[in-house]
Amino acid sequence: MEYSHKELRQEMVDVCLESLHEGMFTGTSGNLSVALEDGTMLITPTSVRYTVMRPMDIVRCDLDGNIIEGDLQPSSEWRMHAAVYRAYPEHKAIFHTHSPYATAFAAVPCLKDGRGGCLLNNHGVLAVGRDLNEARTRAQYIEDSARIYHYALQVGEPFVLEKL
């Protein structure tokens, strides 16, 4: 289903608020973007609390950071989003979170081999997808897996299943 930029902006704000309430975002940490067909992206603005963010605050910029629409600055991590879209054009949405459990286990990133997300070294989660819902769901799964592993560590050495 094709969305207008207005609908996408509203969806992005809604996802940010839901993510804040789920504990995936805190304050102004975390950001998300959606790649557009014309080679630009919609991205959350920098330093705006999710409780006051409006659809008109979402910034449209090119992959060099030039603002095309919007009065605010794009996320300070726009370069990371642009680099992923350049390297992996099949992904159309990025969800970046500093969710607590996954960040505690963060390791070197890797999006190769069809992986839908990675842990950024000391910096949280970067999840990608065909759309915003898929990218967010992958970030939620990463956080949930990290939380489960954390709990497993509390009761002893977790048994790691071998790949079949």
Residues 97, 80 contacting (CB under 8 angstroms): no
Residues 23, 58 contacting (CB under 8 angstroms): no
Give the active site residue among 2, 7, 77, 143: 77
- Taking phi over 0 as left and psi of -120 to 50 as alpha, with beta for the rest, 104 belongs to alpha
Residues in contact with 33: Cβ distance below 8 Å, sequence separation at least 6, in sequence order: 41, 42, 43, 44, 75, 78, 81, 93, 94
Task: Tell me, yes or no, if 77 is annotated catalytic.
Answer: yes
Q: How far apart are CA 91 and CA 84, in angstroms?
A: 8
Task: Tell me which residues are annotated as active site.
Answer: 77
